[in-house]
Copies of this chain bind each other. A is one copy, B any other.
Amino acid sequence: MNYCSHCGSEVEHKIPPGDNRLRYVCPHCELIHYQNPRIIAGCIAEHENQVLLCTRAIEPRHGLWTLPAGFMENNETTQQAACRETYEEASAKLTDIQLFCTYSIPHISQVYMMYRGQLVDGFSAPGEESLATQLFTEEQIPWDKMAFPVVTESLKLYFSDKNAGKFHIHGGEMSRDEEQQLTVLNYPVIS
């Protein structure tokens, strides 16, 4: 950020009075430009012992498999965001959706909220951001071709719960160290 989006003046990067963090502050109109994490909402869509995956038609991770998910927009609920993304990326409609897991990814300031829902009529077709959509059983999941660790982790939790016969709501966080090594921390499940 270089300029104030309100008045166009050059912003300063400083800690405002009464605050303890560096912010972009406009010296002219005095507006403080807060920056906050973004929510990514998505869904594990179930149909007859299978789940729906899409191959990405866009970067990053073009051609790899993912769960339908994307940035939540203003003026919608997290459930609406998960359903909208599933429709946009996989032309798929959902019923009976409920929260399945949340992951914080602080080094990129993202919070994932992944839902679980029933795929209506088992129907899907690639949207603009997908090359293909396909239903997979656990044995068929292309684990070595997944786009993002959060997708792999969400699916591992999902099949673990499914095989145990009871779904929980999971929480966790992911971080990368200086060598870009990923650490996944799954919080204890509340039973």
Q: Which residue numbers of A lie inside 8 Å of B, CB to CB?
A: 1-8, 10-11, 18, 21, 24, 33-39, 71-80, 98-99, 102, 104, 106-107, 109, 111, 113, 128, 167, 169, 171, 173, 187-188, 190
User: Cβ of A173: which chain B residues have Cβ within 8 Å of it?
Assistant: 77, 79
Distance from A62 Cβ to chain B, minimum over Cβ atoms (Å): 16
On whether A36 and B77 interact (CB within 8 A), knowing A2-B5, A102-B99, A190-B169, the answer reads no
User: Cβ of A7: which chain B residues have Cβ within 8 Å of it?
Assistant: 2-3
On whether A35 and B98 interact (CB within 8 A), knowing A3-B7, A8-B2, the answer reads no
Distance from A24 Cβ to chain B, minimum over Cβ atoms (Å): 8
Q: How far is the CA of A36 from the CA of B39 in the complex (A)?
A: 8
Q: Which of A77, A102, A104 counts the most B-chain CB atoms under 10 A from its CB?
A: A77
**Pairs across A and B, CB under 8 Å, 21 listed:** A3-B3, A3-B4, A3-B5, A5-B24, A18-B128, A35-B74, A36-B38, A37-B39, A37-B72, A37-B74, A37-B76, A74-B109, A75-B109, A76-B104, A77-B104, A77-B106, A79-B171, A79-B173, A79-B187, A80-B104, A98-B171
The answer to whether B4 and A78 have CB atoms under 8 Å apart is no
Chain B minimum-CB-distance residue to A110: B74
User: Cβ of A3: which chain B residues have Cβ within 8 Å of it?
Assistant: 3-8
Distance from A190 Cβ to chain B, minimum over Cβ atoms (Å): 6
